[in-house]
Amino acid sequence: MASLIQDPSGRSPYWICVCSSSTGGLLKRIWRTTKIRVKPLAGDLKPDGSRVTTRDLRLKAEQVCQAIERSIQLERQGEVTEANLRRILSETLERVEGRRLTHPSVAEWLEQWIETRRGAISERTMLKYVQVKDAFLRSLGRRRHAKLGSLGLKDFLEFRNQLLAEGRTPQTVDQLVRKILSSPFALAVKLALLDSNPLASLPSLKSTRIEKGIFTAEEISKLLEKANPDWQGAILVGYFTGARLKDVCNLRWGNVDLEKRLMTFRAGKTGQIITVAIHPELEEHLLSRNTSDDPQAFLFRSLAGKSGGGQSGLSMAFKRIMEQAEVDAGVARLSSGAKGRSFSLRSFHSLRHSFISELANSGVSSELRRRLSGHASEEMHAVYTHHELETIRQAVSAIPRLPARIRSRIGRS
Same domain assignment for residues 312 and 386:
yes
Confidence class of residue 9 from pLDDT cuts 50, 70 and 90? confident
- pLDDT tens for each residue of 314-324: 988 999 999 99
Structure letter (DSSP) for residue 265: E
Query: Cβ(85)–Cβ(71) under 8 Å?
Result: yes
Angle between helix axes 280-288 and 229-241 (nearest 10 degrees) is: 160
Q: Is the pLDDT of residue 387 over 90?
A: no
Q: Which residues partner with 19 through β-bridges?
A: 30
Inside any domain, residue 205: no
Same domain assignment for residues 167 and 64:
no
Over residues 205-219, mean pLDDT: 74
Of 72, 97, 122, which marks where a domain is finished? 97
Same domain assignment for residues 262 and 397:
yes
Most confident of 81-85, 114-118, 311-315, 341-345: 114-118
Over residues 267-293, mean pLDDT: 84
Same domain assignment for residues 84 and 111:
no
Same domain assignment for residues 242 and 176:
no
Inside any domain, residue 198: no
Comparing 113 with 211, the larger pLDDT belongs to 113
Range of the domain at 64: 3-97
Of 97, 128, 153, which marks where a domain is finished? 97
Q: What is the CATH number of the domain that holds 377?
A: 1.10.443.10
Inside any domain, residue 207: no
Inside any domain, residue 412: no
> Minimal CA–CA distance to 197: which of 179, 173, 172, 171?
179
- pLDDT tens for each residue of 119-136: 777 888 899 999 999 999
The 3-state DSSP class for residue 319 equals helix
Supply the Cα-derived Rg of the chain in whole angstroms: 29
Contacts 24+ apart (CB under 8 A), 329-338: 330/213, 332/210, 332/211, 332/212, 333/169, 333/210, 335/167, 336/167, 337/165, 337/166, 337/167, 337/168, 338/166, 338/167
Same domain assignment for residues 81 and 164:
no
Query: Cβ(16)–Cβ(30) under 8 Å?
Result: no
Domain count, the chain: 3
Q: Is the pLDDT of residue 358 over 90?
A: no
Q: Which helix (H) or strand (E) holds 361?
A: helix 349-361
Confidence class of residue 63 from pLDDT cuts 50, 70 and 90? confident
Same domain assignment for residues 175 and 289:
no
Q: Is the pLDDT of residue 330 over 50?
A: yes
Over residues 295-299, mean pLDDT: 93
Angle between helix axes 123-140 and 153-165 (nearest 10 degrees) is: 110
Instruction: Determine the pLDDT at residue 82.
Output: 47
Contacts 24+ apart (CB under 8 A), 256-265: 256/286, 256/299, 258/283, 258/286, 258/287, 258/291, 260/389, 261/393, 262/389, 263/237
Over residues 371-378, mean pLDDT: 56
Same domain assignment for residues 313 and 346:
yes
Inside any domain, residue 27: yes
- pLDDT tens for each residue of 140-194: 999 999 999 889 888 999 999 999 888 788 888 999 999 999 999 988 888 778 8
Q: Is the pLDDT of residue 80 over 50?
A: no
User: Tell me, what amino acid is at 413?
Assistant: S
Q: Which helix (H) or strand (E) holds 380?
A: helix 378-383
Over residues 228-247, mean pLDDT: 91
Confidence class of residue 380 from pLDDT cuts 50, 70 and 90? very low
Residue 12 makes CB contacts below 8 A (sequence gap 6+) with 33, 195, 196
Q: Which helix (H) or strand (E) holds 55?
A: helix 54-76
Same domain assignment for residues 110 and 91:
no
Same domain assignment for residues 267 and 123:
no
Inside any domain, residue 195: no
Q: What is the CATH number of the domain that holds 140?
A: 1.10.150
Instruction: Determine the pLDDT at residue 30.
Output: 84
Comparing 411 with 347, the larger pLDDT belongs to 347
Instruction: Determine the pLDDT at residue 383.
Output: 45
Instruction: Determine the pLDDT at residue 92.
Output: 53
Alpha-carbon gap, residue 50 to 305, rounded angstroms: 49
> Minimal CA–CA distance to 126: which of 137, 117, 134?
117
Report how far apart, in Å, the C-alpha atoms of 411 and of each of 196, 289, 407 are: 61, 9, 9
Same domain assignment for residues 148 and 36:
no
- Reported pTM: 0.49
Angle between helix axes 82-97 and 54-76 (nearest 10 degrees) is: 160
Inside any domain, residue 299: yes
Q: Is the pLDDT of residue 384 over 50?
A: no
Query: Cβ(351)–Cβ(245) under 8 Å?
Result: no
Inside any domain, residue 228: yes
Same domain assignment for residues 237 and 305:
yes
Question: N- to C-terminal Cα distance for the chain?
Answer: 86
Over residues 241-261, mean pLDDT: 90
Of 46, 64, 97, which marks where a domain is finished? 97
